[in-house]
Each structure stands twice: as structure tokens, then as C-alpha cells.
Structure 1
Amino acid sequence: MEKHGFEYRPVKENPIPEARTFPYVINDVTWAQKHGYGTDIERARTELRKTDPNQRYFRSLPAKRREAALEAANGPMPLNVTAKTPDGMLFQRSSEGCQSEADRKLYGDLQKWFQAKVTFDTLAEFKRMHVLADRRFTKAVKPWSACMRAAGHLYASPTELRAKLPPPNNPLPQKEEIRLAVTEAHCAMSSGLARTASELDEYHAKKLQKQYRSDVESRRQLQAAALPRARSITEADSPK
């Protein structure tokens, strides 16, 4: 980016270590006691986005310079590197630009890396969908729902509960949010839903990785080969 006349500062990939996702049901009572459904973390993320040095720098640029910065980062048209998700969705990117230059330098084969990454990233959502549709999961949800009902909360599933939560910009009062999340977590543990979800998550992860073994293995091999290159780059940039 500096070669193109722009600033860019590396930032932490995960600046909020306590941020977590619960794709099926909250299964950590201690976390729920502190964060509820994570609206405090979402507020922290919003503040970080406001103070992110790269976003602030980008917003400070005139319109034409912003366009030029985007092209420098992502490359110009045409989008000539393509990858398909397992369900046929097409992803495209330019073979030029700083992101592609960095990926090519690290992983060697840009096309191979892009396809492997797109497949691997998609598998996480595929896995979640498979778990939620699994009859063993839907069966395990019933005692969880009964547990929630006994505590005064009428939800047929964790998915329904999430759908009925107010938006992050107007959340439940903190004590109420935490109380509901803790109840969900207690019911997940006592009903066996947490255990079932964990077992099914592992089962479907292995099944999908076997089904898409080629791209999963390509990603692992490319990452392993990239490590020494990454070390040499960061060591060269580090102060003596």
C-alpha cells in the first residue's frame, strides 16, 4: 500500500479475546454470566471500528483517493480469479492489487489458495446447517425447550430465541439479558443439548472435511509452506 502512496497499519485480527460465537446454543454459564448474549462485546466492536486507524485514514481521504486506495488494495477489473463454493456460489477477485500480491507471495499459487480458502470458509456454515437439520439435534432441543419453559421462557429452540431477541442497538436491559442467557446455558447443559451439539459438530466437521478433502488438504499444505516465508518477512521488517 505504501508503494501505491497509501498508509496501512497492521491491526490485531481478534482485538477482543473474550468474543465468542455459539452457533447452536450458549453452553458456557460463566461466559453468559459476564456477557449475556454479547451485546457488550458488540458495543466494544463498534467503538473499535470507529477508532480503527485504517478506517479513520480511509474516511479522511477525498473521494477519488478512496477509490484509488480500494483499487490498490483489491486490484482493478477484471475479476479474473474465481472460486466456487460447494453449493455453486461464485466468488471472484482480481489477480492484481495488494491483497492478491500478498497472498501470492505467501502461498505461491493464488488460484489454488483462493479456491481452498473459499471452500474451507464455506464449510463452517455448511456444518452448522447440517447440525441444525440433524434429527438427533432436533430431538435434543425438546428437553432444552422444556427446561426453558419450566423457567418461564417459552422458546421452541435456541434459534427461535435468537430471532426474538431485540436488535443490538436496542438490547434487553443488561440484568435481563444475562439472566436469560444464563438460563439458556444451564438448560443446554442439564438437558444434554450442549453435549449433543458438540458431538454432532465434530461428526459433521469430519464428514465435510472428508467430502472436500482435496481443498482442505490444499489449504493445510499451502499454509504450512507459507510459514517460513511469513517468518522471513516479519523478521526482515522487525527492528534490529
Structure 2
Amino acid sequence: MTRSATARAVIILAATPLVLTTASCSSPPVSAPSPVPASARPDTLDLPAETRALLADAERATLRNCMSRQGFSFFYDRTDPAELRAETARNNSELYLDDVPRARRDGFSPAPDVPARPASRAEGQEQAYLAGLSRQRRDAWDKALMGPPGQERIKVVVPGVGTMEHPTAGCFAEARTRLFGDYEKWARADTFVNARFRPVEEAVRKRPEYKEATVRWSTCLQARGRHFATPEEARARASTFPRDQAIALAVATAECDRQVGRSKMHRSLYEQATQHWIDRHPTEVADFRRLNAEAAARLAATN
């Protein structure tokens, strides 16, 4: 993955699970692709898809302008809110394993760690563009985008997750600074909020109510002649079955889930764990809400 592909992926991470793995150029204000809907205010941890798309496209436009001033091209596709909503639904699928109609239609449906989507039009353009640059020009392109090696970086230590780093130089840093103002504060807040999924889910899985509900689910399946301790085991086995058999197993697991209330319990515990996480990180949560809301409002006002 190229550095801009990495940047492109990071841009739309707001309110989706985060996977581990400012020198400023002057430019005119970024115009918003579209105004933020009145009903799509980023006042929760889950930014509305329309707001996420608005911020992502504005950031990419700034990246393109900055790179252009330095003699380089930068490619991006407009963000489709429908794709973001579908992504969120996939990421939340583990909370809705009691969805019997979905099981009948899609089986277990894609797991949260499904393979990356095929390259987009912009990614294809970028690959062709970079392939045509000399090694020296490509290195210069990287530095223009993400700053030089050895630069001071914003380091955010997230307990239980790890250390995330953000560049402080290059067009990527400029885009974040222009969009959110206090880039360092935004980077810390955004990193914390997007890294919450792992500790929240781990907290849920430690709860005795969750474990007891999973045992009830397993017992229900055993009565149907299917022996799995967890939904993950059932999904893994289903992946080896023909489609009709995989669908049948998914339906059986969903029906048992609904019968014993496992996912209902999961959702309740997840909400509690999320609120507990919010209570432990009030500064980051407040900054995340405020800085995203202010950025969206500025973009809407300039449209």
C-alpha cells in the first residue's frame, strides 16, 4: 500500500474500528462538497455517514491542492455515504447475530476482518502515476505527502491498544491542520475514539452475563445437533460448507441467538462498556465531538 493509500484509508476511519498496524502550505479555504445536513451533527461518537463523507472529501481536496502546488498529482474518489453506512453495518454485525432474516439471505455475512475491497478508480490512477515517476521523484512525492523521515511526530499512547503516530509535516499534516485547527488535539481525540472498539469489546467478553448467554446459545445449538462453543466457531465451520449448508447453519445460530437473547445481551453490555469508556476519557470525547462539529460547520458555511 502506498503512503497516500494509507492516508486515504485513515481519512474515513472516523467511528469505525481502528486496525493497528505542522509545516503548512498556504492555500485558499477548502470548499465543502455539500453542506452538512441539519440532522447529521457529529454530537455522538458515531459520526453520521454524511458528515464523515463531508470531512473526508474536504481533506482530500486540500491534499490535492497542496500536492499540486509542489508539482505532484494526488487522486481521490468522492466518498459515498451509502458505502460508509454499509461499512458501519459490517463492523457492527457481531452485535446482531440474532438477525434471522439476514442469516437466511446472507448466511453469516462477511466477518469484520473481510479482505480489503478492490482498488478504487483513484487508487488505480495513483498506481499508474507513481509507476511513471523516477525513484527520486517518487521519494519526493512521498515526502511532500507525509513529510520527511525523522520528522517529529504526534504520538498518541492508547492504553490497552498501543501507540499511534501522526506526521507533523507534509500535505497530510497541512490538510488536518486546515480542516480541524488544533491538529494535535484532534489527532489525539480521533485516535482514542477510533481505538475504543477493542477495549470495549474485551470488557464485554469478560462479563459473566455475556459468557452465560453464550453457553445458553451453545446449549440451544446442541439440541439441534450442532456443537459449537461460540459463534466464531460456527462461522469458521460454515466457511467450509456449500452455500446451502452454510445458510442453514447461520439460520440455526441466529434462531438460537434470538431464543436465548445472546445478541440482545451483547448490545446492552456493549452500550454499558462504551459509556464506561466515555466516562474514563471525557477530554478526548469532548474534543472529538467539538472539533468535528466545528469543522463540519465551517465547511457548510463556505459552501
With normalisation by structure 2, the TM-score equals: 0.66
Map 1:1-240 onto structure 2 (within 5 A).
1=64, 2-4=68-70, 5-12=72-79, 15=83, 17-19=85-87, 20-21=90-91, 22-23=93-94, 26-39=97-110, 49-50=118-119, 52-60=120-128, 61-62=130-131, 64=135, 66-77=138-149, 78-87=151-160, 89-164=162-237, 166=239, 172-232=241-301, 235=303
Cα deviation 1:115-157 (Å, max 9, x = unaligned): 1111111111111111111111001111100112222321111
Contact 2:209 2:265 in 1 (8 A): yes
- Deviates further, 69-78 or 218-227: 69-78
SS in 2 for 1:15: helix
- Structure 2 CA distance for partners of 1:216 and 1:202, relative to 1, 3 Å: same
Q: Residue 155 of structure 2: SS of its match in structure 1?
A: strand
Deviation at 1:226, TM superposition (A): 0.9
> Cα offset for 1:98?
2.7
User: Distance between the aligned counterparts of 1:100 and 1:66, measured in 2?
Assistant: 19
| One-letter identity of the residue aligned with 2:118 | R
The question of whether the paired residues in 2 share the 8 Å contact of 1:24 and 1:197 is answered with yes
Q: Secondary structure at the match of 1:49?
A: coil
Q: 1:205-233 CA deviation, whole Å, 9 max, x = no partner?
A: 11111011111111011111111222245
Q: CA RMSD in A?
A: 2.7
How many residue pairs get aligned? The number is 227
Distance in 2, Cα, partners of 1:118 & 1:110? 12
Partner SS for 2:164: strand
| TM-score, normalising length: structure 1 | 0.82
SS of equivalent residue, structure 1 residue 73:
helix
| One-letter identity of the residue aligned with 2:193 | F
Instruction: Sort the Cα spacing of 1:88 and 1:132 in 2 relative to 1 into closer, same or farther, 3 A.
Output: closer
2:100 & 2:215 partners in 1: Cα distance?
A: 20
Contact 1:23/1:128 (8 A) holds in 2? no
- For the 8 Å contact 1:104–1:110, the answer to whether it is kept is yes
Contact 1:79 1:92 survives alignment (8 Å): no
Question: Is 2:144–2:170's contact at 8 Å kept on the other side of the alignment?
Answer: yes
Which stretch shows the higher mean deviation, 8-17 or 140-149?
8-17
1:36-83 CA-to-partner distances (Å, cap 9, x unmatched) read 22249999x76x523x01221222122635544443333322252111
Amino acid of the structure 1 residue aligned with 2:83:
P
After superposition, give the CA deviation of every residue in 1:140-188 in whole Å (9 maximum; x if it has no partner). Answer: 111100112222321111233345554xxxx642222222222221111
Give structure 1 stretches of 5+ with no counterpart: 236-240
In structure 2, relative to structure 1, the CA distance for the partners of 1:41 and 1:217 (3 Å cut) is: closer
Query: Given the superposition, is the C-alpha separation of residues 59 and 172 from structure 1 closer, same or farther in structure 2, using an over 3 Å criterion?
Result: farther
The runs of 5 or more residues in structure 2 that have no matched partner are: 1-63
Pick closer, same or farther for the CA change 1:28–1:69 going to 2, 3 Å.
Answer: farther
Deviations 1:193-214 (A, max 9, x none): 0111111011111111101111
Instruction: Output the CA distance in 1 between the equivalents of 2:256 and 2:161.
Output: 38
Letter in 1 for 2:143: E
